[in-house]
Amino acid sequence: MPNFHGTATHELFVPLGGTMLADPYLVYERLRTEDPVHRHEQLAAWVVTRHDDCTYVLRRADLFGSDPRALGRTVPPEVLSLQTMDPPEHTAVRHSFLTALRRRGDARWEEEVRRVAARAVRAMRAAGAASGPVDLVEMLAEPVALHAMCALYGIRRADDATMALFRTTSRTMVLGMDSGLDPTRREPALRARTVLNRLLLGWRADAEPDGVLAEVSAGRDGDVDQVTLNSLRAVFDAGYSTTANMIGNALLHLLRRGPLTATVAESVDPNAVDELTRVDGVVQAISRHCLADTELRGIRLRHGDVVIVVLAAANHDPLVFSRPREFDPTRDPNPHLGFGRGVHSCLGSHFGRRVLCAVFAALGDALGDAPAGRVELAGPWTQRPTATQRGLDRLPVLVR
């Protein structure tokens, strides 16, 4: 008998079900142990969960691709971007972004992010003093992540209504990543892409000349070609949504261990950020398709087969990580797959780490200013109903 999402009730891997939304890692453990190359009928895909298999698929771009056109399939024009293209076409687009990001993401950018994070923390303290619990997602995670991406892109401050529209539309796109599990999400997500493209075109007219938005679209005095515009949108939105969710997931993980004090916040360095990414990462899974018949762990995969690479399951593989469910900021080595591997590895992983460090530095400064200063959970949090990208819709906290 099918459940709400159309999956038979005997299916173990039900990412949008309540059990997996609350804690997917127990299911990942069973799959790694019992069925590491699992056939999922609703998705018509192979679900891969062991670290070595996931790494192999990500690194073998010659066998496992991202571009459906290689299989003769059509791609909606609003979807085609550097995220869906493979080398060599993908290489030039990726290089243009890497060059622009490196040039823009200097010490001045990092200092700006620190200022924004500190301002957000002060606002949380003031709101908490006036009315009690505040929503950490709304007041800290999302605005800091959005401002960080605007600063990278050279987008001058937009009005609050436009920023609210962006945040709502981005959420629709994240929901759409799970349209294979819930087809009702597909069309709204396609429309959301068009809305974000229009926002970027509006911002481009007034963008700072040394920002990513102006640099990547340089030399195009008229309309930006569709692939460039889609890629600008994809990188901007991915940077915003994954960073906002990184902040929320990381803080929730630490808050569930106890109140966040200045000492705890100040201990979060880049190594701790990597461990937080491993233990409860944002990007849970990505998909590839077989470009040729091949074999994985003795199972025959056919040309055109879809492979779901469950990064979060690989990050809890006990063959690679001792005590995988424990947060260990001294873990070394830490070969997690939270930012992917291979040609499609995350463009902005370095920037995401820096934003998270800036947030914890701001929290440490603010909490250190007050005797017994701390942040505490203030009630149930709301998990976002998404599987591909794990995050929070709401995280109520008390800032003391």
The mean pLDDT value for 363-379 works out to: 90
pTM over 0.85, yes/no: yes
pLDDT at residue 92 in the model:
92
Q: Is the pLDDT of residue 3 over 60?
A: no
Sign of CA dihedral 383, 194, 339, 299: positive
The mean pLDDT value for 231-235 works out to: 96
Contact 332, 230 (CB under 8 A): no
Q: Is the pLDDT of residue 219 over 70?
A: no
Q: Is the pLDDT of residue 10 over 80?
A: no
User: Is 45 inside any structural domain?
Assistant: yes
Read off the CATH number of the domain in which 297 is found.
Answer: 1.10.630.10
pLDDT at residue 2 in the model:
32
User: Is 41 inside any structural domain?
Assistant: yes
Output b/e per residue, 66-103; b: 16+ Cβ within 10 A.
bbbeeeeeeeeebbbbbbbbbeeebeebbebbeebbee
Q: Residue 275's domain spans which residues?
A: 18-399
pLDDT at residue 131 in the model:
82
Contact 303, 290 (CB under 8 A): yes
342: left (phi over 0), alpha (psi -120 to 50) or beta: left
Percent of the chain with pLDDT over 70: 96
User: Is 356 inside any structural domain?
Assistant: yes
- SS3 of 105, please? coil
Phi, then psi, of 143 in degrees rounded to 5: -65, -35
Average pLDDT over the chain, rounded to an integer: 93
Q: How does residue 7 score in pLDDT terms, banded at 50, 70 and 90? A: very low
User: Is 12 inside any structural domain?
Assistant: no
pLDDT digits (tens, 9 = 90+) for 146-192: 999 999 999 987 788 999 999 999 999 999 999 999 999 999 999 99
Contact 47, 20 (CB under 8 A): no
pLDDT digits (tens, 9 = 90+) for 36-87: 999 999 999 999 999 999 999 999 999 999 999 999 999 888 899 999 999 9
Q: How does residue 8 score in pLDDT terms, banded at 50, 70 and 90? A: very low
User: Is 88 inside any structural domain?
Assistant: yes
User: Is 6 inside any structural domain?
Assistant: no
Higher-confidence residue of 369 and 395: namely: 395
User: Is 8 inside any structural domain?
Assistant: no
pLDDT digits (tens, 9 = 90+) for 257-273: 999 999 999 999 999 99
Higher-confidence residue of 211 and 106: namely: 211
Write the DSSP string, 166-221.
Answer: HHHHHHHHHHHTTTTT-GGGHHHHHHHHHHHHHHHHHHHTT--TTSHHHHHTTT-S
Higher-confidence residue of 371 and 242: namely: 242
The number of domains in the chain is 1
pLDDT at residue 332 in the model:
95
User: Is 22 inside any structural domain?
Assistant: yes
Contact 334, 327 (CB under 8 A): no
